[in-house]
Amino acid sequence: MRDLGLRAPLRRPLFRRLLATYSLNEMGDWMGIVALSVLVYEATHSAYATAALFVGTRFLPAILAPVLVTRAERPPPRLVLPLIYCAETAAFGTLALLASNFSLAAVVVVATIDGALALAGRALTRATVVSLLEESGELRAGNSLLNVAFTAGAAVGPALAGLVVAALGLQAALFANAASFYLVAWILITAGPIPHAEPEEGGTRERVRAGFAYVRRNKPLRRILLAQALGFVFFSAVSPIEVIYAKESLATTDTGYGVMLAAWGIGMLFGSLVFAGAKRVSLAALFVVSTFVIGVSYLGLAIAPNLAVACVASVIGGTGNGVQWVSAISSVQELTESGMQARVMAVLESIGAAMPGLGIAIGGLVAAIASPRTTFLVAGLGVLAIVALAVPLLRGGRSGRLAGSGGFPLDESDTVVLELLPGGMPIPNSEVES
């Protein structure tokens, strides 16, 4: 019998290195977000400049990442992953120099390059983890550990960035971030052989087209990607109005707002434990039920009369959040053949980077026209509508095999990829899933 305990993947030196780099990468990304936001605001005091930074770090990388991953998936991961992180080192070193010679255009361009590199690095790392742990049946356990590392990096990164910026200044924070990516590159380049799933032959343009064609003809995969894209819109619609909702709709204080967000975080932690323990539950069922739970929690927040009820709804929603993104990415991994893993993961990463922006805009508009409670109501109803789109996965996930070699039906094996990426409160992290 195979050992599927949580400690089994830790016996692999390469997995331990990937675990460390995943956490450091997420921490570095959050440090960069905080430091760059402060830099642009202090230099311009302009909302338009901040919006330009957001476009550069989110939307443009989402367009560039699939092409970059298609080019980067051909060389061995031991070569290409360290190169990606060295390039991020150079990018943040350049941004640190721009802190003392500020140019908004230059900052946005370099931040765009770094954002595309970050998305590509995550997609290629996920493909590597599948190649490493799939055959041994250790992916569920291994990626439960990755989830802990990811969450720890997301928690430590913003706080560490705030401390470094306050104590040493913006430039020091950006240089420290550059050093963290160099450390990641060093850990990977000294890791020894790294497994590699060979893509098919052909040029970049042909393989990009092949990747999108693969998604189009794989109906369960296409359906779950569409459901997740729409999900990000409604999940993040509440992000810009949470503080207004807490203070005006619930008439609470800053402390109450913090308690409500903490309640969501507690739910997320519980949800990650639920997913890790639900080994016999199909991924399709976990995806549908967790999406439904988030929708119900938003409706609960829309009608919550006080902070206590809102916190209960937040714990429920956080629990769904802790399962939903994990089950989505795991389902996509299981529905994707080995040679397409990196390209399909790049599409999912791009969805996670681009779609929350649309949701934030919609949520802010609804709140301005109506009220924060209406925003939660619209978001909740939207999420429940997505459930109707996802329900056919319960029927079709087990039946249809993928076209081409290496495909396998959803939930037929134990292989999953686990990453915690907030889809509701607090602001979605995308990879918040660095």
| Per-residue pLDDT reduced to its tens digit, 199-225 | 767 777 888 888 888 998 898 899 899
Amino acid of residue 165: V
**The model's pTM:** 0.78
What is the C-alpha separation between 182 and 205, in angstroms, rounded? 31
What is the C-alpha end-to-end distance of the chain, expressed in Å? 35
In the block, which residue shows the tokens 């980077």?
353
| Candidate CATH numbers 1.20.1250.20, 3.40.50.2000, 3.90.650.10, 3.30.365.10; the one for domain 212-396 | 1.20.1250.20
What is the C-alpha separation between 88 and 115, in angstroms, rounded? 9
What is the C-alpha separation between 3 and 85, in angstroms, rounded? 33
- Across 186-252, the runs of DSSP E, i.e. the strands, are none
What is the C-alpha separation between 201 and 147, in angstroms, rounded? 33
Check residue 396 and give its pLDDT. 54
Check residue 50 and give its pLDDT. 76
Indicate the helix (H) or strand (E) that contains 433.
none
Length of the chain: 434
Cβ atoms of 67 and 351 closer than 8 Å:
no
For the record, the structure tokens of 75 come out as 């060389």
What does R_g of the chain's alpha carbons equal in angstroms? 21
What is the C-alpha separation between 133 and 410, in angstroms, rounded? 17
Domain spanning 9-189: which superfamily? MFS general substrate transporter like domains (1.20.1250.20)
Q: Is 45 exposed, middle or buried (0-12, 13-18, 19+ CB in 10 A)?
A: exposed
List of residues 6+ apart from 141 with CB closer than 8 A:
4, 5, 6, 7, 8, 9
Every domain range in the chain assigned CATH 1.20.1250.20:
9-189, 212-396
What is the C-alpha separation between 123 and 350, in angstroms, rounded? 10
Residues of the chain with pLDDT under 70: 1-6, 47, 140, 143-144, 147-148, 151, 154-155, 200, 395-434
Q: In sequence order, what DSSP letters do the residues of 76-116 get, joined into one string?
A: -HHHHHHHHHHHHHHHHHHHHHHTSS--HHHHHHHHHHHHH
